[in-house]
Every structure is written in structure tokens, then in C-alpha cells.
A and B are shown apart, each in its own frame.
Chain A
Amino acid sequence: MKHVFHILLYKILIFLKVNSPINFYSILKSLGSGIVYIAFAYGCFVMTFNTIDYLLVTVKIGSFLLHRFILIVLFIFFIAINVGNMVVSFSTLYKSKEVFFLITKPISFTKIFLIKFLDNFFYSSATLLLIITSVLLGYGYYFDLNFWFYPFALFFLILPFMFTAGALGVIVLLIVLIMSGRWGIKKVIVSIGLIYIVSVVSFYFISNPIHLVERVFDYYPNIDQYFGFLENSSIKFLPNYWISESLYWTSQHKIERAIPFVYANIITSLLVFGAALLIANKFYYKTWLTSLKVNAELKSKTKNQFSILGFHKKSYLNGFDESILKREFYLFFREPSQWLHLLVMLFLITVFISSISGIDFIIEKAYNEYLKTLVYLIVSLFNIFLVASFSLRFVFPLISLEGEALWKIRSAPINFNSLLRKRLTIYFLIIFFIGQLISFFSNLQFPVALSLVAQLNSALTSITLISLNFGMGGIFANYRERNAIRLASSSGASITFLLTLIYLLIIIVVLFFPVSNYFYSEANGLNISIWNLLSTSIVLAVLALIVSYTFIKLGLKSFRQDV
């Protein structure tokens, strides 16, 4: 372990030295970042407290359903960490220059694997940990839990849970590469991808949250009791269930009933991590060699690939536009981590939209307008969250990725603003279109007026989020990093993500009263004011205007600085 600690120590030193040149701009940037982190943590705390209060006191869903809602959120977290680790680990464990360097040194492959795994896990989970800590504070404060709850929940519930998800992701990656050696990467990716999709979709069918809500509502108004007997027993083997149960019993001050779940969570985490180390011990070097072959296999179709869009073909565009468009296309589709991530995200959207089809049932059966408002807000926020994820993953790294051949771009007789605007337009159109599609399909179950407003608001939030990510990507540009995934999980990206969450809070505030008024008026046969709903769009339009003007300008300006 001496090697591992030695290398980790230097990694921490490198991390601490990132912001070493102290000048007015860097101090201002750090101060701004600090304020964003603190404001965000506080906002998260307040929002958690108020959301729980709203669900339990106003909507009256009962503590059991609240924890089943947490169970689904945890499942999404698990999938996000799991898939994220799978994709990022391919770059860090197999393509990173650091691995090439370490392999030439007298260090065992298992140790290299361990170092890169820990590096990867903590680097990409730092923001998530901040969010979860703030949420835990809000949760514990609401249920008036003792001080010991916070370190206990963080170290014995959340961290092992995240560790299980991360280690499982790396195990899947190792298996993919082991099998690739025999059957070829493409076949294996398709097969494992299908198994993964079936597993994720099965969760929704097995847990069937809509059915559970319906059965719990049968007991209304006595819904503040434990309804575990209504659940499918298969979900009791999942880590997100253990966390949800631990939290439920802790909130009920019956810690003895939480202990078995905490125990299962920790043991599973250790077992999965141990399994990852064992597999790595035997196969990491072999898979590393396979990855070289895999890379060669993925490169092999260079000739005649996308021949319709070949650079040599005649084009109706001018030389500059053609060059930018084709470069973007080739660089995107020849980088597996780019298009694979896009496919995964599109898959998650499909799962989201298909799982939302049962919402009309909740809307119809909802016993008060607050529940309807809640469902509408959740759907809207999830839509925006998806657009935010696309923007963070694909727009934030845009300016930094120019670093790959910056010497050529900066010394060429071209207008940089025009170059960046054109690149932004390509991504804007794609993300905007995806956002509109998500909004259309996920709002089909709501009344027409609400659907139309959602569509309009989705357009406005897409403009805001894309501009925000573009500008922040410029402010925190790192021209030395060529890995888009690492750029999208850098500290600048974390701050952008936090700003996005603050923006989501603003949207909740803006939407809440007009939407609940709408449902109240509808339920009580009162006059429905469409203007009331449209006022939300006006506020979001003003925000979109301010944010896009400011951040696009900042992004364009950042590209002119010395590099």
C-alpha cells in the first residue's frame, strides 16, 4: 500500500496546486466559486426541508411514500454513478497517459487500478457528495435527528452506496473488455448494453411505483404507516431499497430496524469493491492490452467512413463553414466516449418518457391540487434537468476542446466569434430539439394549456442552460484537457452544475403558484387564467435574455485571452 499512498499524496498535491498563481482574477474566481458552493449548499438544505414539509404536511403523502420517492431518486443516482464510472473509467484506466507512465514503473497493475479507480471515483463524485451532504442536513433537521445521524448516514449509507455503484461500473467495464478479446468490442457492447437496458427497465416494472401509490391511496387518509407488505419482494435486494429503508426507520427513531439494512449496504459495498480488485488483479493488464486492440478496431474503419461527408466532396457551404461542420462531425463520431455517452443519455430519456406514461392515472386520481402541482413540477424539473445534463456534457467542453489544435485555429485568418457561434449553433439546435421532444412527450398527460406553457418554458430554459454552459465553459476553459468527460466533471463544470440547480430552484418558485392556482381553479370550477401561467414564461424569457447575453459574451471573450 506504500506505493498507493505515495502516489495519492502527490495527486492531492497536484490538485491543491491547480489554482496556485494568485492574482486578482483567480481570487475573484475562487471567491465567486466559494459563494456559489455555499449558496448552493444552503439552497439545497432549505429546499430539502421545504420539500419534505410540503410532501408530508400539504400534500400528505405519508412518510412511507416519501421514502419510496427517495428510493426512486436513489435508483437514478445509482444508474448515473454506475454509467458515469463505466464511461469515464475507460478513459482513465485505459487511455490516460498517466497509466502509460505508471506501467513503466515497478508498481503492480492492481495498485495502478486502485489508484485510478479512487482518483476517478472521488474526482467525478465530489459535486454529488456536496449535494447529498446538503440534502442529508435538510433531511436530518426536518426529522429532528441527533448529530450522529450526519456522519453515520454519510459514511455508512451514502459513501458505500456510491462505492457499490462505481465499483459495479468498473466491473462491467472489465467484463466488457475481457469478452471483447474473444468476441470483438462491438458485439459485446451491444449485448451488455441490451442486458443493462433490460435490467433498468425491469426495475420500473418490478417496483411499479404508480401501482404502489394507487394501493397506498386505498388506505387514505390513514397513509402515515408502514406499507412494506404492499411491495414486490424482489426490490428488497437492491442497495437503494436498503438506503431508503434505513432512512425510513431512522426518521421513525427506530434505529434497531435500520441496522440490518446498513449492514447489508456496507457488506455489499465491500464485496463489490473486493470483486473489482480481484478481477482487476487477474485481468487489468490483459484488458489493458485488449484495449489497445479495441482502439485499433475502432480506428480501422477510417477509410470511406462517412464518405458522403468526406472533406474532398463538393459542398454548397463556404470553405470555413464546411471545415467547421465536418470537423465537428468527425471528431464527435470517431470518439467513442462522445457518441456512447450520447446514446446512454438518449436511452435514459426514453426510459423517463416511457415511465411517465402512467402519470395521467395519478393526475386523475389525485386527491388534491397540491399532488397535481407536485407531479407537474417534477416532470418539468426532470425535463430541464435532462437538458441541463446534455448542455453540461456537450456544450460546457466546447471552448476547451478547441485546445486540441489551438495553434492552428488561433493563427488562422478567421473570426473567432463566428467560429464559436457556429459550433454553439450546431449543439444548440440538437439540444433544443431534444428538449422540445422531451417536453412534448412528457407533458401529453397534462391539460393543453399546461402542456403549451411547458413547451414554451422548455424552449426558454434550453436557451438559458446552453448559454450558461457555453459561458462557464469559457470562463473555466482548460485547453490542455482533451477528454470531454473529464472537462464535464471538472471543478468549473461542478460550479456550472450548482448554478443550474439554483436556476432549477428559481423555476420552482416561478412555477409553483400559477400552476397550483390552475389546478385549484380547475378543481373548484373557477375561471382559469391563462395569463397567470404565461407570466411564468415572461419571467423565464427575461432570465433567458439576461443569462444568454451575459454568458455568450463571456464565453466569446474568454477565447481571446493568452493561451
Chain B
Amino acid sequence: MLEIINVTKKFGSFTAVNNLNLKIEAGDFFGFLGQNGAGKTTTIKMISGLYNPTFGKIRINGFDINKDPIKAKSLIGYIPDQPFIYEKLTGREFLFFCGGLYSIEKLILKNRIDEIIEKLEIGDWVDKRTEEYSQGMKQRITIASALLHDPKLLLVDEPMVGLDPQSALIVKNILTEKAQNGAAVFMSTHSLNVAEEICTRIGIIKDGNMIFSDTKEVLENIKGNDNQNLESLFLQLTK
């Protein structure tokens, strides 16, 4: 579903991501870990088409994100870490707007919006302007907008930031359900507990270099052998 081939991203002389290689299949739930400034958000922004890689290729279901952006992006649902949305639109209007960008037929879109609103427990807030929303409610609308077109690849950047426990549980359930239904989920997070709980594969990036990428089982084995938890293993690897 997602292929990252020899991808490097430089900002002037600074290398944010260095020769990254990764392959994620449908149904995988990939947890992308790393310290602040390690290159997680840059990687996600390159996959979503916000940044162009300096070198290398990114393919979504075979479509190159830079050469064939429209086909590639139609398969992606992107949930950013800072969900800026049009403050003057209501949540529902924003969702209709997003549906229009993916050319979803009006009746299907209407039903999809109702369904997702219910699932994310947005309630009456959906008809209020988003400038009145809390951080958590904005995050829920952002997630809803990413699910509207039933994406095959879900890119999630720090999904739990600013969420109350109830919202966090809803988000976890939805992301897990998406992966179980055959979508690939690529999630960057600082929450090691969340990664350990819901991801099937884990990648750790440090200073732009991928220093670990394997299944959760392999990670469990390393943990077991060294008799430590994920937190201490992460701290050791990223030291």
C-alpha cells in the first residue's frame, strides 16, 4: 500500500530525513516513534504531498505521490497534528466541503457524514462554527474529514494530543477498526503505551534515520530478552 524508497528530505544544509526505506501493507498498523525533531512529521508531510522529497520516491498503491498526485491522494486520509480548519464554517459544512474535494456523490456524502458524526460522538457540535470548538472537538472533525472517502491509507500525526480519555478511546477504536477492515494506518505518536497497545508494526526514527523497523512481536522479543519495557527500550535506542 505504501512504499517509501530511498527518501531524503533536506531543508538547506539540514537533513530532516535521511535515505528512508519502508513498505507498509494493507491491514498494517504502523506506529512511527521518535523524539521531537527526529523527522516523523516531515515524513508524514512527504507521504501526504505537503512536502516534496529532495531525493527518492513515495508510492501509494503503486501511484507516485509526486508524479501522479491526484490518484495517490485519493487513497489517503490525512490527520495532521495541528488541525487548522475554517473557523467560519460549521463542522458539517467543513465535512461537506471536504467531501466535495474527493468528488463524493451528495447523497452518499450525506449518509457518510451522519454515520461518522455518530461514530465520533460529535453530536450537536457539528452544526456550530468550528471557532467555538475545543481542541478535542476540532480533532474529531479532522478525523471525520479524513474518513469520509474511505481511504486505503490513513496518515495520522500525533492523534492523541489534547484529547480527553473518552475522545482518545474513540480515536483508538476507529483507527484499529480501519486497520482491521484492510486499510493501512501510518501513525506517528509520542505515546508509547498507545503504540504498544494498537500497532502491529513499529518504526523508530532518530535524527532522520530509521533505527528500528519491524513487527511488534520482534520488539516484544527484544524487550523480553533484555527484560525491559518499551519506554526504557525506546530511551535506550534513541539515546
Closest chain A CB from B55 CB (angstroms): 14
Taking a contact as CB atoms closer than 8 A, the residue among A403, A413, A563 that contacts B71 in the complex is A413
Closest chain A CB from B44 CB (angstroms): 10
**CB-CB nearest in chain B for A412:** B101
Q: CB-defined interface of A310-347 with B at 8 Å, one 1/0 digit per residue?
A: 01101100111011101100110011000000000000
Residues A311 and B145 in contact, CB atoms below 8 Å apart: no
Residues B12 and A23 in contact, CB atoms below 8 Å apart: yes
Q: In the complex, A489 Cα to B48 Cα: how many Å?
A: 32
B50 on the A face (CB < 8 A): yes
Q: B129 contacts which chain A residues (CB < 8 A)?
A: 299, 302, 334
Residues A21 and B12 in contact, CB atoms below 8 Å apart: yes
Taking a contact as CB atoms closer than 8 A, the residue among A299, A312, A315, A411 that contacts B131 in the complex is A299
**CB-CB nearest in chain A for B95:** A311
Residues A330 and B101 in contact, CB atoms below 8 Å apart: no
**CB-CB nearest in chain B for A22:** B12
Q: B105 contacts which chain A residues (CB < 8 A)?
A: 319
Q: CB-defined interface of B71-85 with A at 8 Å, one 1/0 digit per residue?
A: 111101010100111
Residues A562 and B145 in contact, CB atoms below 8 Å apart: no
Residues A412 and B73 in contact, CB atoms below 8 Å apart: yes
Given A302-B129, A311-B96, A331-B89, A410:B104 Cβ within 8 A: no
Given A312-B96, A335-B88, A562:B51 Cβ within 8 A: yes
Residues B127 and A330 in contact, CB atoms below 8 Å apart: no
A195 on the B face (CB < 8 A): no
A523 on the B face (CB < 8 A): no
Q: B80 contacts which chain A residues (CB < 8 A)?
A: 407
Taking a contact as CB atoms closer than 8 A, the residue among A318, A334, A407, A415 that contacts B50 in the complex is A407
State which residues 2-46 of A face B: CB under 8 Å: 21, 23
**CB-CB nearest in chain A for B42:** A562
**CB-CB nearest in chain A for B149:** A413
Q: In the complex, A327 Cα to B109 Cα: how many Å?
A: 17
Apart from A299-B131, A314-B106, A323-B98, list 18 A-B contacts with CB within 8 A. Answer: A311-B96, A319-B101, A319-B105, A323-B101, A330-B86, A330-B89, A334-B88, A404-B86, A407-B48, A407-B80, A408-B145, A410-B50, A411-B78, A412-B98, A413-B69, A413-B73, A415-B70, A562-B51
Residues A404 and B84 in contact, CB atoms below 8 Å apart: yes
A448 on the B face (CB < 8 A): no
Closest chain B CB from A189 CB (angstroms): 19
Residues A413 and B88 in contact, CB atoms below 8 Å apart: no
**CB-CB nearest in chain B for A334:** B88
Residues B127 and A408 in contact, CB atoms below 8 Å apart: no
Q: B71 contacts which chain A residues (CB < 8 A)?
A: 413
Residues A410 and B48 in contact, CB atoms below 8 Å apart: yes
Q: B106 contacts which chain A residues (CB < 8 A)?
A: 312, 314-315, 319
Residues B78 and A414 in contact, CB atoms below 8 Å apart: no
Q: In the complex, A377 Cα to B73 Cα: how many Å?
A: 52
Closest chain B CB from A291 CB (angstroms): 14
Q: A315 contacts which chain B residues (CB < 8 A)?
A: 106
16 contacts between A and B (CB under 8 A): A21-B12, A302-B127, A311-B100, A314-B106, A326-B96, A326-B97, A327-B97, A403-B84, A404-B86, A407-B48, A407-B50, A410-B50, A411-B73, A411-B78, A413-B69, A413-B70
Closest chain A CB from B236 CB (angstroms): 33
Residues A408 and B98 in contact, CB atoms below 8 Å apart: yes
**CB-CB nearest in chain B for A407:** B80
Q: In the complex, A312 Cα to B114 Cα: how many Å?
A: 12
**CB-CB nearest in chain B for A313:** B106
B93 on the A face (CB < 8 A): yes
Q: How many residues of A contact B (CB 8 A)?
A: 36
Q: In the complex, A562 Cα to B89 Cα: how many Å?
A: 26
Taking a contact as CB atoms closer than 8 A, the residue among A314, A318, A407 that contacts B78 in the complex is A407
B228 on the A face (CB < 8 A): no
A405 on the B face (CB < 8 A): yes
Residues A411 and B97 in contact, CB atoms below 8 Å apart: no
Q: A105 contacts which chain B residues (CB < 8 A)?
A: none
Residues B12 and A323 in contact, CB atoms below 8 Å apart: no
**CB-CB nearest in chain A for B75:** A413
**CB-CB nearest in chain B for A403:** B84
Residues B93 and A319 in contact, CB atoms below 8 Å apart: no
**CB-CB nearest in chain A for B9:** A562
Q: A334 contacts which chain B residues (CB < 8 A)?
A: 88-89, 129
Closest chain A CB from B190 CB (angstroms): 19
Residues B86 and A414 in contact, CB atoms below 8 Å apart: no
Q: A408 contacts which chain B residues (CB < 8 A)?
A: 78, 85, 98, 101, 145
Q: Which of B49, B84, B100 has the most CB of A within 10 A?
A: B100
Taking a contact as CB atoms closer than 8 A, the residue among A303, A405, A411 that contacts B48 in the complex is A411
State which residues 82-128 of B face A: CB under 8 Å: 83-90, 92-93, 96-106, 109-110, 127-128
State which residues 392-423 of A face B: CB under 8 Å: 403-415
**CB-CB nearest in chain B for A305:** B90
**CB-CB nearest in chain B for A318:** B103
Q: CB-defined interface of B136-150 with A at 8 Å, one 1/0 digit per residue?
A: 000000000100000
Q: A326 contacts which chain B residues (CB < 8 A)?
A: 93, 96-97
Given A411-B78, A412-B73, A311:B92 Cβ within 8 A: yes
Residues A407 and B97 in contact, CB atoms below 8 Å apart: no
Closest chain B CB from A100 CB (angstroms): 14
Q: B97 contacts which chain A residues (CB < 8 A)?
A: 311, 323, 326-327
Closest chain A CB from B117 CB (angstroms): 13
Q: In the complex, A335 Cα to B86 Cα: how many Å?
A: 11
Q: In the complex, A522 Cα to B52 Cα: how many Å?
A: 63
Residues A302 and B50 in contact, CB atoms below 8 Å apart: no
Shortest beta-carbon contacts, A-B, top 7: A323-B100, A311-B96, A413-B74, A334-B88, A413-B73, A412-B101, A319-B100
Q: B76 contacts which chain A residues (CB < 8 A)?
A: 411
B231 on the A face (CB < 8 A): no
Residues A407 and B89 in contact, CB atoms below 8 Å apart: no
Closest chain A CB from B93 CB (angstroms): 5
Taking a contact as CB atoms closer than 8 A, the residue among A23, A303, A331, A410 that contacts B88 in the complex is A331
B132 on the A face (CB < 8 A): yes
Q: A312 contacts which chain B residues (CB < 8 A)?
A: 92, 96, 106, 110
Given A319-B103, A405-B84, A411-B78, A327:B127 Cβ within 8 A: no
Q: A320 contacts which chain B residues (CB < 8 A)?
A: 100-101, 103
Q: In the complex, A404 Cα to B127 Cα: how many Å?
A: 20
Residues A331 and B86 in contact, CB atoms below 8 Å apart: yes
Closest chain A CB from B138 CB (angstroms): 11
Taking a contact as CB atoms closer than 8 A, the residue among A21, A314, A327 that contacts B89 in the complex is A327
Closest chain B CB from A316 CB (angstroms): 11
Q: In the complex, A303 Cα to B128 Cα: how many Å?
A: 8
State which residues 538-563 of A face B: CB under 8 Å: 562-563
**CB-CB nearest in chain A for B48:** A411
